[in-house]
Every structure is written in C-alpha cells, then in structure tokens.
Structure 1
Amino acid sequence: MPQSVYAETESKHKVEDWSIIKRLWKYVKPYTWLFVLGIILIFASAGLDLVFPYLTKVAIDDYMNADHAYSVETANGEFTITNDPEGAFRLKQLEDGSYVITDGESSYSVSPETLKELRVSDLNGLTKIVIYMLLVLIAMFGAVYLQVYITNYMGQKITHNIRMDLFKHVMKLPMRYFDTTPSGRLSTRIANDTKNLAEFFSSVITSLVKDVVLLVGIVIVMLRMSIYLGTISLFILPLILVSTLVFRYFDRIAYRKVRTRLAIINAFLAEHISGMPVIQIFNQEKRKAREFDNVNKSHYKSLIEQLMVFAIFRPLMDLLYYLAIAAIIWFGAKGILDGRVGFGVVYAFTSYVEMFFRPLRDIAEKYDIVQNALASAEKIYKIMDEPEEIYNEDRPVVTSLRGELEFKNVWFAYDSENYVLKDISFKVNPGEKIAIVGETGAGKTSIISILNGLYKIQKGDIFIDGRSLYDYNLQSLRKKLGLVLQDVFLFSGTVLDNIRLFDSSISKERVHEVVRYIGAERFIKRLPEGYETKILERAGTLSAGERQLIALARAVLYDADILVLDEATANIDTETEAIIQEAMEKLSHKKTVITIAHRLSTIRNTDWILVIHKGELVEKGSHEELIKLGGIYYDLYRLQYELGDIA
C-alpha cells in the first residue's frame, strides 16, 4: 500500500513492551492498594477454582466408588454384614443391577435396605462434599464480584487520568505540530487508544495474573495427585509455548497495522466531513467515495491479516487440548487397570486439563487486547514525548500592556528554510491604529502568528513594551492580545458561551455591556433566542459578519490591550462592516489596533500603513503618502478601485 498522507511515520526503533508498561505503571501507583487487593482476590478465586475438581475426585474415589472391606458372620442360616478394614468381602454390582458382597468364593445378596445401611457413611460424606461445593461457589461469586468491581473501577480511573494528561499535553503542543498532524489522528489517540488502555487495566492485567496462577496451581495439583498422569500431561507444554511465542510475534505485527490504518480512516473522515461543502459544490462525491473505499479496504485487509493469525492459533490450541484429553484417557485407563490410579483421579485430570487450556485460550484472547493496548500506548506516548510549547511560566504574569510594539530585523520560516518574512522592522506606539496590506501570500497573517508567539522566529526579535516577546509569560501575554480572524472558530454551545468562552465567572451583565459597546446588540436580538441561541461547531448557521461580531465581542470582553483584526472585514456585508469600523474607532482611543486588510477602503483612517510584498516590508506611511508614492500600495488601491471594491 502506498504511504497515505494521513499515515503516521512509523518509528525506526522498536519500543520494548516493558518500557511502555513501566511508563504506564506511574498511573497505577496512586491506586496501588486497589491493585494489591485485586491481586489478593485473584489468588483467592484461582484457589477456589482449583478446589472444585479436587472435591469431585474425593466424591468419586472416597465415597461414590469407594472399595470398602466387610466381614460376614452366619448364624441359623442368616448372615450379618459389618464394616471391617481387615475383612475379605467386597461389595459388587451385578449385570442386572443388584448388589452382592463376595470374597471370591462365597457370595451374599445385599438388599436395598442393607445397601443403604452399608453406604450411610458414604452418603454422609457426599452430603458434606456437596455442602463444601456450595460454599466454594458462594465464595467464588463473592471473590470474582469484588475483583471485577475493583479492577474495573481502577481501570476507569487510570484511563481517565491518561486521557486528561494526553489532552492537556496536546493543548500545550506548539502550533507547528498541528500544521503537520491531522486532527482525526489526535482524536483517535485521545478517544480510541485510551479506550483500549481502559480494557487493558480493567480486565487484562488481572485476568492474566489469574490465568498464570491457575496454570501454576493446576500443574502443582496434578503432580501431587498423580506423578504418573501429571508427567504425561506436561509433555504438551513445549508445543504450547512454541505456539504462543509464534502467535505473539505475528499478532503484534498485525495489530500495529490495524491501529495505524484506523488512524488513517479517522483522519480522512475528520478532514472530509469538515470539507463537505466543497465536496458537494464541486461534485466530488464519487471520487471521494472511491478514495475512502481505498482507505477502508486497507483497514479491512489489516483486520483480515490479524484475523488469520488468530484463526490459526485458536484451532491449534483446541487440537492440543484434545490431544491432551486423549492422552489422559488412554494412560488413565491403563493406570486404572494396573491399579496405579483411581477413576476419580482420571476424572479430575480431565477437568484440570480442560481448566488448563481455558486460561491458555483466555491468554490468547487477552494477548490480542494486550498488543492492541501496547500499540495504542506506544502511539499515545509518541504524542506525549512531543516537546511542549515553552510558556515561560516562571516569568511574572502580565496584567496590562501599554501597547507599544516593535519588530526588529525579524526573519521567519514555517519549515526553517523557506522564509516567509525577511528582515521585517517597524514600531507601533501605544494607542496607534495601523494596517498591514499586501497580496495573498505576502506574509501578513504570519506577522500575527509570530506576534502571538504561536511560532518562534529564526532571526531578530519582537518587543512588546520594550521587552522581548520571549521574555514574557506567554499564556498571560496572549490574554492581552485580542485576535479577530477572518475565519472565526465558534464552539458548540450558545452565543453567550462563545463570547465569554464558557467562563461562567464572567457575568451576563458584563457580556451585555460589551456587546452594546461594540454596537452588536441589534444582531444578537435578531437571533431566535438571543444570547441563548444554540449554535453548532463553527456556527454554520450564522453569517460571516455575525461570527465576526461574536469574535470582536470576545476580544473586547477579555480586555485585550493590543487588538488585531486579521482581514476581519474581507467577507462581510456593508452593515456589519460599518458596525466593526465604528467599534474599532472607539477602541482605538484606548488600545493599539492592528488591522490586516484586504479591502483598502477600510483602512483610510489608520495612522499609518505597512505594505508587505514577498515577505519584505517595502512601503510604510499614511494612505495619502502611499498614494502619492505611486508604488505597490497605489497599484493595489487602483486595482480595487477599477474592480469597484472602493466606493
């Protein structure tokens, strides 16, 4: 399969399972006492499992099939039967179902009443065995219930913590990481892969421990019951070990493919569902369906490969099981005839062999889950090992800015080679209103990206209020930089939620005050439920202008000292543009305002204008000065005038 653009780059170095488990262990540590309690309950339930076949063996050999000795005394033509360990008589059942006692020469018929008297101790013993069995079953129920509850509780808590840590880490990754990582892949890691770990912690670890304890316990019990049959049973172990090791190797490879290709599907879906309007407008449905079919088939093939591995292993375990049973029956029958073992022992051995293969099958199934979980953990830690953005949290928190801004010989490239900004230098005084213009791709938006510290520059420096941008506590600094983008992102929730970003500590009255200040109240009142109008992700039901007003209200509400509009008026109606222009005029008396402009008619009243061309600052001045200069700005202005964009 050719490398997909949605696929992850696989690590060249194999990550050892134990190194992953060691890293996961730190999430288990806070719940060590629960883990230990779960292990104790596992040992208890495994021990109780081992008791049941042994009680069955005792019932058969000691009571049901017991070979008791009797003595017979005759007097006046009648006989009396008594239990006597030294007696020569034995109880025997005839072909017609009746019973006699015989010493080989003499035989005496035994009536049902006499038989009942002779076997009363056996009946009492069987009654005790049944009571013991019931008590074992009750104890097993209690132990298993507590173990399942405790381990699942522990597993869900651990998974919750891993998912929270992963999401917190993702939010702190530098913006460059998101430029090269599909959002669908991240969604897979946070949702699907952590879910795989939940099953690993909830059931797999404890089940594997129980299975190992059972296997060891079964071997010990079988050897103690009969060295003869126990040794024969253990001859099958080398075949089981070799089969398991081969299965482990191929199953890990198959599961890695499954996880990688599932991430590709999720990344493909996330991108194409977001781009559905473009797909439908340009009639790309059939082509995209074919592309998804290829991606889906690739995932299907990886699942079939994994299924083939398991489809071979499971029947192989069944074959080995029946070989072991056949061996027990054959050698057990010979042992009974030779008097080396009792029938109850053979019966118990068949139960123990069945019990022996049960955890082996369980280990095979759980091993699938283990490989799935370890593959998921490997991918989770691949994200966790990505270096976080440096926020300079040790620096003082920024409470306010004067609004002075200076770029000094700034060079910037997204890929560290192809510079999109070249030796940019300019200075903005507090309270000034400036504009940045230039053709598409000139580097205007890149200036805003580095101003927020989302990307780090390669050369030069950026100063805010006389201090380098990289000497600030970035998280607090960004709160003082208000940004209104051309493509406003709104979250699922209400209009009120999106203005105050779900911060309930900000009162509704404060939100209403800000909305009135920027002149957007009329727009909100027109909505079906006003501030409580529910909107979906990205607010597809709102116009571009309405989204811009919400973003502007958000920036003003958080009291930014430097306000940046990134082509905020490029695709909005005249009425909304007028509202934004009026709001910006009000704000410019208190804040430094930077506007990245597409429509030059909106920036005539700025203090001065920067013209960016191919990543370089080529012109600087007021609207009138740049028109008189007759350079690039004049050409842009004239072109828009001829196209009718300037009234």
Structure 2
Amino acid sequence: MKAKAFDTRLFKRILTYTKPYRWRFNGVIVFAISLSIFAALRPYLLKQTVDSYIQTQDKQGLLLYVVLMGMVLLAEVFSQFYFVYWANWLGQDIVKDIRTKLFKHILSFRMKYFDLVPVGQLVTRSVSDIEAIARIFSQGLFMIISDLMKMVVVLIFMFYMNWKLTWIVIVAMPVLVFITRIFQRKMQVAFEEVRTQIANMNSFVQERVTGMKIVQLFNREKIEYEKFKEINHKHKTAWIKTILYNSIFFPIADIISSLTLGCVVLYGGMRILNGDQFTTFGDLFSYTMFISMLFNPLRQIADKFNEMQLGMIAANRVFDIIDTQDQIQDTGKIEAPIFEGKIDFKDVHFGYIPEEEVIKGIDLSVEAGQTVAIVGSTGAGKSTIINLLNRFYEINSGTIFIDNENIENYTLASLRKQIAVVLQDVFLFADTIFNNITLNNPEISKDQVIRAAKEIGVHDFIMTLPGDYDFDVKERGVMLSSGQRQLIAFLRSYVSNPSILILDEATSSVDTYSEELMQRATETITQGRTSIVIAHRLATIVNADKIIVMDKGKIVEEGNHQELLTKVDGYYKNLYDSQFMVAN
C-alpha cells in the first residue's frame, strides 16, 4: 500500500503507542512551549537593551539586562536539553514496543509466509524501518511542533513591537510556504523510492551472503557483482533525487529570508534617518534575529517533515506486516499431554499451492511406540507429512489424529512440545553448544544435557571441542561439520523428551563415523516412543516396524522390510535392489 502525503489514520495509529508514556509526551510539549518563549524573549530583551540603556548610556541598566539575557539563555538551554533528550527517549521506547510486537507477530506466521517473503525484507522492516519510526518523534513531530510554536511566539512579539515592519515579513511568508509545500510533495515521492531501493538492496545482499558458497561454487561472482552494481545504481539514483530537491529548495529559502531582512532594514533604516518615530534601532537589531528565528524554522519544517514522512512510510510498511493475518489458527483448547503416540491420517489432502496437491488423500496409521519409516523419490510428499503433523501448514481436507484426538483440538504450543524433529539441514544459532541444545530453556540443566549426551554417545565428541559445551559454533554452526551438527540436533531432540520423534533424512550426507554415532543415537532416542523416520538410505530402516512407500503424494506400498521385498516388481524392492547393487 502506498503511503499518502500525510496519512492521518496512520499517524493516529502511531500516536496510540505513546499512551504508556503520556507523562513524558506531555513533558516534551511543555518544554517545546517554554523553549519557544525563551527563544523569542532574547531578541525582545536586546531591543530593550539598545533602546533604553545603550542609547541613554545607562551602564547600570545595561548590566542588569545583560544578566537577565544570560538567565533567559540558560533557561533556553535547559529547555532545549530536556526537549531533545525526552523526545529521543520517547521515540526509542515507542520503537522498542513496536519492534517487540512486530517480532512476536512474525514468530506466529506459518511456514507458507516465509516461503513467499524474502528474509532480507523482514530484516529491513524489523531494523531500519523501525529506526525510521523513532525519527518521527526525535526529528519530526516534536521538532515541527517546537518550530511552529516558536514561529507563533515570534510573530506575537514582532506584532507587539512594530506591527508595520512585521507586515513586510508576513507578505514574504506565503511565498516560502508555497515553495515548501512543493518541496514536501516531491520529497515524499523521492523518499518512498529510497525506502523501496533500500529494501531491495538488503534482500539481495542478505541472500547472496547467505548463499555465498553456491555463488562461488558455480562461478557466479561476476554475474552477482553486475546485478549488485545495477541495484546499487538504482539506490544511488533514488538518493540523488532527494539531494537535488534539497539543493534547489534551501538556497531559494535563504534568498527569500535574506531579501526579507534586507527590505526590513532598508525600510526601517530610511524611516529612522528621516527622523520618523515609526521604528527604533532596537527594533532593527531585534528584527534581524526575529526574521532568522521565523524563516529558519519555516525552512527547516520541510526538512523535518521529510524525516517524519520517512518514518510514516516506514511505519506503513511495518504495520502492513503487523496487520498480516497468516497464522495457523490456534483454536485448540486441549493442552496436549504426554502422548502415547498413536497417529492417524484420514483422507488427508494438501498442496502448498491450492491448485497443485502434494498429498493426495492418504490414509496412514502409526501405532503407539512403533518406528515407522517413510521412503520414496524426491517430491513424493515425505517431508510434507512432517510439516502437516506439526501444523506448519493447514491441510486442505481430511483429518490428522494423535491418540484419537484431532490435532486441531490441541493448543499449538503443547502439540509441538510433544513432537521433536531432526532435519537433514540442521540449523544452529551463533551461540554455544549448550544453548543450541537447550534453546535457552531454563528447565534443562547442564547436568541433564551431559547425562543425555553420554546416553546417546555424543559427549566424547563435544569434549574434544575447545570450551566443550561452551564452544561457540558461530553463525549457522559453521565451526562444525555437517555430521557434528546432526549429532547436536539429535541431542537437542533427546533432551526435550518428546512423545513423538521424527527423523527427516537425518543420516544422509554424513561421514561413516558420524553415521555410526547417529545409528547408536537413533536406537537410544527411539526407545519407548513413536518414531517416524524418513530416509533415502534403505539400509538404515530395515528394522523399522512398518515401512510406508510414497510416490507422487500417495501411499503405494506398506509393510515391513521382509514383506515388501517379497513383492515382485514392487516399488520398494526395486528401490532396495538398485541401492544394494550400487553399494556393491
């Protein structure tokens, strides 16, 4: 959705986040008012000093007014400090609340959302766009309020001192207001383009840095470099527009201000030289300050409006995500107990794209405590079954039961707590081994982790690492081999003590030593719980209680290893024979 020049509804929504900090919000307004009064009072005191004490050579009165102006200056500095400090403080508190709400909302999205939205875009929304919202308060809204108040107070003083000279200034102001308005409209469009290009660049860099291995393996450095140059050029072009508009506007604003001051000094000076009591030297002295105080805020309001507009555009993007309802419907009322582990799929249909079904009406039954293996070619729908069991995606039709209860009746958190998954592509956070195992769960102690590691044969490997359980694996676990990451994933699942365990091709693409450790770990963690094993290596699942063979989203064969081998020209037998022949 494209932001308007000024979206009142959006602005009101942003202001709702100030409610918890109402006293500070009001405090900023109070200091803005006092700042405008003290700022306008200084030129007025200068006029009094020139007219009443310098021209009359009253040294005592001059000293008194100099001290008085010093006190007013200190009060202005005091007000300025608290105004700026509280405005920025308020802005940071507000973006903290919005960022927390945004991240919590992102955590609730179903997997389909992350399939469609680039990671870089979400990073941009959560970081740079949020910081732009803070500038609404630190550099935009309150600065504009302060400047407007200062202008009003200055005009009051100017009319009080000399209303005829003031009309010269008033005549020039509409010209500057008109130019400012044109500038604002141009900058609004330019800044929206800037935000778009920043998001595009963040997405591009995020993906290329994450996939750097693929870029280098396929010798795509030059191609990606040329693409980046093109994106970078568009980013620069978008910023050049803002620079151009600033380069035109501010010199014009300075010229108008200088011409106005020149007219006031010329007209007032001529009247004084002619002996007219129309004005005084004090008026001219003070008006040189007043005009600057009146025109500079008017000129800077355009710049501050740009900051505010940037924040509004960013807020619009952030609220688009917050308003997105793409969550799995967590309407269940039952807290999932420790499952016995009976699983039933009844006529389940599902497709990642509505028109293309991946699971085509399967019926599957797993008894409590069984180890069931699922095999089939790539794209057969094996991993999709795991996604559906965990409710990462909503099924199109049919029903999935655990312990004879529709899984939709369980609360989402309690359901997933009872199911542990070891994936082929293990994700580790840039943290210690211990934290990657417990995922910062305070209920799991280090003694429990060590005991579990010894039980599944992983402890010795961890102790060989520098710092053992406190070893930092760095981003995505790059300090470990793929086999070592798999072992950590096994241990992570084991310490969570799930009722149902799922191994999704967890032993593929690892070395022989790691596979032996995983086989031992698998035997340990599958004992006494329902286990579903998805595997390409059929040798790893020959002892499964049941083997499910899938092809093109359907179950084509079912039975144990020996039963399936007896089927002449069976899918499983052909697959097993081909692997056996390759192995030999």
TM-score (normalised: structure 1):
0.87
Give the counterpart of 2:572 among 603, 610, 633.
633
Give the whole-Å Cα distance in 2 for the aligned partners of 1:327 and 1:423.
86
Query: Do residues 507 (structure 1) and 445 (structure 2) align?
Result: yes
Calculate percent identity across the aligned residue pairs.
37
Maintained 8 Å contact 1:627/1:634: yes
- Structure 2 letter corresponding to 1:579: L
Give the whole-Å Cα distance in 1 for the aligned partners of 2:170 and 2:332.
63
Maintained 8 Å contact 2:373/2:547: yes
Give the whole-Å Cα distance in 2 for the aligned partners of 1:472 and 1:40.
53
Q: What residue is the counterpart of 1:481 in the other structure?
A: 419
Query: Do residues 29 (structure 1) and 16 (structure 2) align?
Result: no
- Structure 1 letter corresponding to 2:447: E
Deviations 1:86-143 (A, max 9, x none): xxxxxxxxxxxxxxxxxxxxxxxxxxxxxxxxx4xx2222111101111111111222
- Structure 1 letter corresponding to 2:30: I
Q: 1:543 Cα shift?
A: 1.4
Q: What residue is the counterpart of 1:198 in the other structure?
A: 134
Determine which structure has more spread, i.e. the larger CA radius of gyration: 1
Give the counterpart of 1:40 among 20, 26, 30.
30
Give runs of aligned pairs for residues 11-22 of structure 1, distance below 5 A. 11=1, 14=4, 17-22=7-12
Give the whole-Å Cα distance in 2 for the aligned partners of 1:335 and 1:549.
92
Give the whole-Å Cα distance in 1 for the aligned partners of 2:468 and 2:414.
31
Give the counterpart of 2:213 among 245, 261, 277.
277
Name structure 1 gaps, 5 residues minimum. Answer: 1-10, 67-118
Give runs of aligned pairs for residues 79-94 of structure 1, distance below 5 A. none
Q: 1:220 Cα shift?
A: 1.5
Q: What residue is the counterpart of 2:235 in the other structure?
A: 299
Give the whole-Å Cα distance in 1 for the aligned partners of 2:242 and 2:34.
35
Maintained 8 Å contact 2:135/2:308: no
- Structure 2 letter corresponding to 1:554: R
Give the counterpart of 1:184 among 120, 145, 154.
120
Give the stretch that moved more between structures: 251-260 or 338-347: 338-347
TM-score (normalised: structure 2):
0.96
Q: What residue is the counterpart of 1:151 in the other structure?
A: 87
Query: Do residues 386 (structure 1) and 376 (structure 2) align?
Result: no
Deviations 1:162-189 (A, max 9, x none): 1111111111112111111111111111
Query: Do residues 617 (structure 1) and 555 (structure 2) align?
Result: yes
Deviations 1:557-600 (A, max 9, x none): 11111100010011112222222223322333310000111111
Q: Which secondary structure state, in structure 2, belongs to the residue aligned with residue 639 of structure 1?
A: helix
- Structure 2 letter corresponding to 1:329: V
Give runs of aligned pairs for residues 233-312 of structure 1, distance below 5 A. 233-312=169-248
Q: Which secondary structure state, in structure 1, belongs to the residue aligned with residue 358 of structure 2?
A: strand
Q: What residue is the counterpart of 1:580 in the other structure?
A: 518
Whose strand fraction is larger, Structure 1's or Structure 2's? Answer: 1
Deviations 1:181-225 (A, max 9, x none): 111111111111111122222343221111000111111211111
Give the whole-Å Cα distance in 1 for the aligned partners of 2:6 and 2:509.
53
Maintained 8 Å contact 1:151/1:206: yes
Deviations 1:381-410 (A, max 9, x none): 011111152453661322311111111111
Q: What residue is the counterpart of 1:397 in the other structure?
A: 335
Give the whole-Å Cα distance in 1 for the aligned partners of 2:6 and 2:88.
26
Deviations 1:448-486 (A, max 9, x none): 111110111111111111111111101111011000000
Q: Which secondary structure state, in structure 2, belongs to the residue aligned with residue 490 of structure 1?
A: coil
- Structure 2 letter corresponding to 1:149: Y
Q: 1:640 Cα shift?
A: 1.4
Q: What residue is the counterpart of 1:642 in the other structure?
A: 581
- Structure 2 letter corresponding to 1:617: I
Deviations 1:38-74 (A, max 9, x none): 11111111100001111111111222235xxxxxxxx
- Structure 2 letter corresponding to 1:124: Q
Q: Which secondary structure state, in structure 2, belongs to the residue aligned with residue 527 of structure 1?
A: coil
Number of equivalences: 581
Give the whole-Å Cα distance in 2 for the aligned partners of 1:528 and 1:61.
80
Q: 1:12 Cα shift?
A: 6.1
Q: What residue is the counterpart of 1:81 in the other structure?
A: none
Give the counterpart of 1:535 among 461, 464, 473.
473
Maintained 8 Å contact 1:436/1:611: yes
Q: 1:441 Cα shift?
A: 1.3
Give the counterpart of 1:498 among 427, 436, 446.
436
Give the whole-Å Cα distance in 2 for the aligned partners of 1:237 and 1:360.
9
- Structure 1 letter corresponding to 2:193: K
Q: 1:151 Cα shift?
A: 2.1
Q: Which secondary structure state, in structure 2, belongs to the residue aligned with residue 619 of structure 1?
A: strand
Name structure 2 gaps, 5 residues minimum. Answer: none
Maintained 8 Å contact 1:279/1:285: yes
Deviations 1:302-350 (A, max 9, x none): 1111211222211121121112112212221233223311121122112
Give the whole-Å Cα distance in 1 for the aligned partners of 2:358 and 2:247.
55
Change in 2 beyond 3 A, CA 1:467/1:290 = same
Q: 1:290 Cα shift?
A: 0.7
Give runs of aligned pairs for residues 102-251 of structure 1, distance below 5 A. 119=57, 122-251=58-187
Maintained 8 Å contact 2:161/2:283: yes
Which portions of structure 1, spanning 4 or more consecutive aligned residues, are displaced by more than 4 angstroms?
12-16
Q: Which secondary structure state, in structure 2, belongs to the residue aligned with residue 493 of structure 1?
A: coil
Give the stretch that moved more between structures: 414-423 or 14-23: 14-23
Whose helix fraction is larger, Structure 1's or Structure 2's? Answer: 2
Q: What residue is the counterpart of 1:448 in the other structure?
A: 386
Give runs of aligned pairs for residues 372-451 of structure 1, distance below 5 A. 372-390=310-328, 392=330, 395-451=333-389
Query: Do residues 360 (structure 1) and 350 (structure 2) align?
Result: no
Give the whole-Å Cα distance in 2 for the aligned partners of 1:126 and 1:15.
50
Change in 2 beyond 3 A, CA 1:538/1:23 = same
Q: Which secondary structure state, in structure 2, belongs to the residue aligned with residue 235 of structure 1?
A: helix
Give the whole-Å Cα distance in 2 for the aligned partners of 1:399 and 1:385.
33
